[in-house]
Amino acid sequence: MNFTIDHFNINVLDLEKSLSFYNKALGLTEIRRKTADDGSYIIVFLGDGHSENKLELTWLKSVDRPYDLGDEEFHIAFKTKDFDAAYDLHKKMDCICYENKEMGIYFINDPDGYWLEIVPVR
């Protein structure tokens, strides 16, 4: 048996704010959307236009408080060929939450506090 990664899901409190962030910070765009008939949830799949991997954002009508992210030991990593331009953009957006200059990487926070690692193509 062989498996490939299809998507990774995160729950978001403000869907429009998250969609705007992921587009501006990482260039991700909406691929498809599923809205529950009763309006209890909206699921939006985002893609980078270059790979088959998707990020699934789930908004739940019943949730009205920030999600408990625990100790933030998990993250999603994104590679870029233009690391310096990405760093400048994220610095201007004021979303860099941690830098490891020795390793040549940094992390940004999305609107819900999820950590996203930015890695240069090596």
Asked if the model's pLDDT at residue 71 lies above 80, the reply is: no
Q: What is the mean pLDDT of residues 98-109?
A: 95
Which residue, among 121, 103, 113, 116, has the nearest Cα to 27 in the 3D structure?
Answer: 116
Residue 50 pLDDT grade (very low, low, confident, very high; cuts 50, 70, 90): very high
Asked if the model's pLDDT at residue 110 lies above 80, the reply is: yes
Asked if the model's pLDDT at residue 4 lies above 80, the reply is: no
Q: Quote the CA–CA distance of 10 and 69 in Å, as a whole number.
A: 10
Taken in order 25, 29, 35, 39, is the CA torsion positive or negative?
positive
Residue 1 pLDDT grade (very low, low, confident, very high; cuts 50, 70, 90): confident
Q: What is the mean pLDDT of residues 84-106?
A: 96
CB neighbour list of residue 19: distance below 8 Å, 6 or more residues apart: 30, 44, 46, 57
Beta bridge partners of 78: 118
Residue type, 23: N
What are the domain boundaries of the chain?
A: 7-64+72-120
Other C-beta atoms closer than 10 Å to the C-beta of 47 total: 17
Asked if the model's pLDDT at residue 6 lies above 90, the reply is: no
Structure confidence at residue 89 (pLDDT): 97
Q: What is the mean pLDDT of the chain?
A: 94
In CATH, the architecture of 7-64+72-120 is Roll (3.10)
